[in-house]
């Protein structure tokens, strides 16, 4: 029966690609055996309750093989129909070219950029251990499985994440490596000499090597991986890409192109298939039904146990309610002092950590500088409920792991580093937005004013670069009041990622009647004025106030802009800005006009910085209040 099932999965996958005349048939043909074993023998998932928090997670890191996942979900009774399979890669189809997060139909994660699924799965596995420690393993006890490819393992982000998984001893993380030695441009051994078995063993993983087409070997390997709870597992499954395609199997020609009509005909003949390739016998569906019925029963048992614990254990009930709350408990308790926003932020974050158990994260080896420490309890294999995570110098993996933590359920993960290093994190931030995750990225040292470290560490293009990512809120507070609202904002669940940007240098306290609602609007009138308007964000709000003092004979309206990308037409109309409009921001000016309309002049930084003390940089870049005031007067005098 196993051979009949894998035949159907191969045929349905290849036919979907063929009908679309676009896609990657090689991986589904090569990994049909592994996929069948996973769904039939191991994956604890409910097709009636796909959003079950205690389900096993499946990460198709080799996202180009999406047709395999869709076929498996179809045969396992998830809401993917034959018509959906026929609309593979078509507009608004459930069956996209790479998996797109949709838990309702059984897709746990958006994948595509290689390495991202691998690294994000590490975050999923960490979240499982964290929640299991808090709620108990009767409530949270599941595995994270994945299929990874040569390409995943070549990408640097997977190495970073693999070392973290080994360090944290994530024993419920099991990846199966599709070892077919083929990539788009040919044999992998032309571009890689890595012994993956030795590499992963050196990183603290449990490694096995098997025949990826042998049902018994696959079953035995996964059972052994499950039994090794002290190490993450890599099962190296030797496979043939495009298996049963007579002329294209084991070649790069089948990786990313349809078989073509002639080869498709020979493939179907090779597997002894007759009739409609989208019409499969009921026995294929029945093959998976017993496992799905078992898992649906497990779900019902789990719900009964959860309800019993909520009823009989008040402490558990309080934690569970907190876990499912969309808003954080927030206490405004700061003194109004001259401080860097990274320092203010540190105090706010620590306060949040004391009363909110379900926010966790840390820094890429920069906690002493970013100061974004939520708790003194460090996460490790010995302390699974530690809220502070030490990522080491691994910004790329940090961002992906944060996504995995947030993706798991109702947790919010955050990662922190210098703003200039957001470049390392950008692919993961982009994917967070694609998945509508509440992931949080906290960046400090936000401008050239970090000084002596020089242009390699001084961000210039980064603020606008982050704002360009659709769906990402970029928050840059100007003082302690805005900073407090900023933390409330970033940790309130709204189904989109947030980047919080903080200063290294101290900022003056600014008296304001700012409300949280005005903060959410993205901009508000800090000082009224009738002649000119200055928009500024972050530390430049202090500068705007100094500029206004130099313009003694002019009435200057100052608009603080903590969330530029949130400004809409109504907000702009309510602000009643003046004819002469200026912007102040220590970064590239491109984009301001798209948010606020016509700008008279943007005072900005359009080149890389220089290594020098802050005072010298102000003079060199003519960013003093005197120089800016002089230039403004040239327009309005």
Q: Where are the domains of the chain?
A: 2-296, 339-507, 521-636
Query: In CATH, what number does 339-507 get?
Result: 3.40.50.970
pLDDT category, 70, cuts 50, 70, 90?
very high
- The pTM of the whole model exceeds 0.85: yes
Distance CA 401, CA 414 (A): 9
pLDDT at 328: 79
pLDDT, tens digit, 9 for 90 and up, residues 366-425: 999 999 999 999 999 999 999 999 999 999 999 999 999 999 999 999 999 999 999 999
pLDDT at 333: 65
Distance CA 142, CA 53 (A): 9
pLDDT category, 436, cuts 50, 70, 90?
very high
pLDDT, tens digit, 9 for 90 and up, residues 519-551: 999 999 999 999 999 999 999 999 999 999 999
In three-state secondary structure terms, 326 is coil
pLDDT, tens digit, 9 for 90 and up, residues 438-495: 999 999 999 999 999 999 999 999 999 999 999 999 999 999 899 999 999 999 999 9
pLDDT at 335: 67
The whole-number average pLDDT for the span 2-22 is: 98
pLDDT at 234: 98
| Cβ-Cβ contacts under 8 Å for 517 (sequence gap 6 or more) | none
Q: CB atoms < 10 A from the CB of 243, how many?
A: 24
pLDDT category, 621, cuts 50, 70, 90?
very high
Distance CA 406, CA 440 (A): 9
pLDDT at 338: 87
b/e code 174-206 from CB counts within 10 Å (16+ = b): bbbbbbbbbbeeeebeeeeeeebbeebeebbbb
The whole-number average pLDDT for the span 284-301 is: 98
Distance CA 156, CA 369 (A): 25
pLDDT, tens digit, 9 for 90 and up, residues 232-246: 999 999 999 999 999
Same fold flag, 2-296 and 339-507: yes
pLDDT, tens digit, 9 for 90 and up, residues 122-164: 999 999 999 999 999 999 999 999 999 999 999 999 999 999 9
Annotation: CATH topology of 2-296: Rossmann fold (3.40.50)
521-636 maps to CATH 3.40.47.10:
no
Show which residues are catalytic.
395
* Mean of pLDDT over the chain: 96
Q: What does residue 85 show for φ and ψ, rounded to 5 degrees?
A: -65, -35
Of the two residues 511 and 499, the one the predictor is more confident about is 499
pLDDT, tens digit, 9 for 90 and up, residues 309-344: 999 999 999 999 999 988 877 766 666 778 899 999
**Sequence-ordered alpha helix ranges (H) in 356-455:** 367-370, 395-408, 422-434
């Amino acid at each position: 029966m196993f051979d009949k099932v894998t035949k159907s999965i191969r045929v349905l996958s290849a036919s979907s690609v063929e009908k679309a005349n676009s896609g990657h048939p090689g991986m589904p043909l090569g990994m049909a055996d592994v996929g069948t074993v996973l769904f039939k023998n191991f994956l604890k998932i409910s097709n009636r309750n796909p959003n079950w928090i205690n389900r096993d997670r499946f990460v198709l890191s080799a996202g180009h093989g999406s047709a395999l996942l869709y076929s498996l979900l179809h045969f396992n009774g998830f809401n993917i129909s034959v018509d959906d399979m026929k609309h593979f890669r078509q507009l608004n189809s459930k069956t996209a070219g790479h998996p797109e997060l949709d838990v309702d139909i059984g897709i746990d994660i958006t994948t595509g950029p290689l390495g991202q699924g691998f690294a994000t799965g590490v975050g999923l596995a960490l979240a499982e251990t964290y929640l299991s420690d808090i709620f108990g393993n009767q409530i949270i006890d599941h595995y994270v499985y994945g299929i990874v490819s040569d390409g995943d393992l070549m990408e640097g982000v997977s190495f970073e994440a693999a070392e973290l998984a080994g360090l944290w001893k994530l024993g419920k993380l099991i990846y199966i490596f599709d070892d077919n030695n083929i990539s788009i441009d040919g044999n992998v051994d032309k571009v890689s000499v890595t012994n993956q078995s030795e590499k992963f063993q050196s990183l603290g993983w449990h490694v096995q090597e098997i025949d990826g087409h042998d049902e018994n070997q696959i079953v035995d390997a996964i059972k052994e991986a499950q039994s090794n709870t002290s190490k993450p597992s890599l099962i190296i499954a030797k496979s043939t890409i495009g298996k049963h395609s007579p002329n294209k199997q084991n070649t790069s020609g089948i990786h990313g192109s349809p078989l073509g009509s002639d080869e498709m005909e020979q493939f179907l003949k090779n597997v002894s298939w007759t009739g409609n390739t989208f019409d499969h016998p009921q026995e294929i569906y029945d093959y998976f039904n017993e496992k799905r019925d078992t898992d649906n029963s497990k779900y019902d048992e789990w719900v009964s146990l959860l309800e019993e614990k909520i009823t009989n254990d008040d402490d558990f009930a309080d934690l569970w309610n907190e876990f499912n709350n969309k808003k954080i408990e927030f206490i405004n308790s700061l003194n109004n002092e001259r401080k860097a926003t990274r320092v203010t932020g540190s105090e706010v974050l620590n306060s949040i950590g004391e009363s909110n158990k379900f926010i966790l994260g840390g820094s890429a080896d920069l906690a002493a500088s970013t100061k974004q420490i939520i708790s003194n309890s460090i996460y490790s294999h010995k302390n699974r409920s530690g809220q502070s995570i030490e990522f080491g110098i691994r910004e790329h993996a940090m961002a992906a792991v944060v996504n995995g933590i947030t993706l798991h359920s109702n947790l919010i993960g955050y990662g922190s580093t210098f703003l200039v290093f957001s470049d390392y994190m950008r692919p993961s931030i982009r994917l967070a937005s694609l998945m509508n995750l509440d992931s949080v990225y906290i960046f400090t040292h936000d401008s050239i004013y970090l000084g002596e470290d020089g242009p390699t560490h001084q961000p210039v293009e980064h603020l606008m670069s982050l704002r360009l990512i659709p769906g990402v809120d970029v928050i840059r507070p100007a003082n302690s009041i805005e900073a407090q609202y900023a933390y409330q904002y970033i940790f309130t669940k709204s189904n989109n990622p947030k980047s919080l940007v903080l200063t290294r240098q101290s900022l003056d306290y600014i008296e304001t009647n700012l409300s949280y609602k005005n903060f959410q609007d993205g901009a508000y009138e800090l000082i009224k004025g009738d002649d000119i308007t200055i928009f500024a964000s972050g530390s430049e709000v202090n500068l705007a106030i100094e500029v206004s003092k130099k313009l003694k004979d002019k009435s200057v309206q100052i608009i603080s802009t903590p969330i530029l990308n949130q400004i809409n037409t109504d907000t702009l109309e309510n602000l009643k800005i003046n004819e002469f409009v200026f912007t102040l921001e220590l970064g590239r000016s491109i984009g301001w006009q798209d948010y606020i309309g016509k700008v008279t002049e943007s005072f900005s930084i359009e080149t890389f910085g220089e290594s020098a003390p802050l005072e010298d940089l102000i003079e060199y870049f003519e960013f003093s209040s005197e120089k800016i005031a002089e230039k403004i007067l040239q327009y309005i005098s």
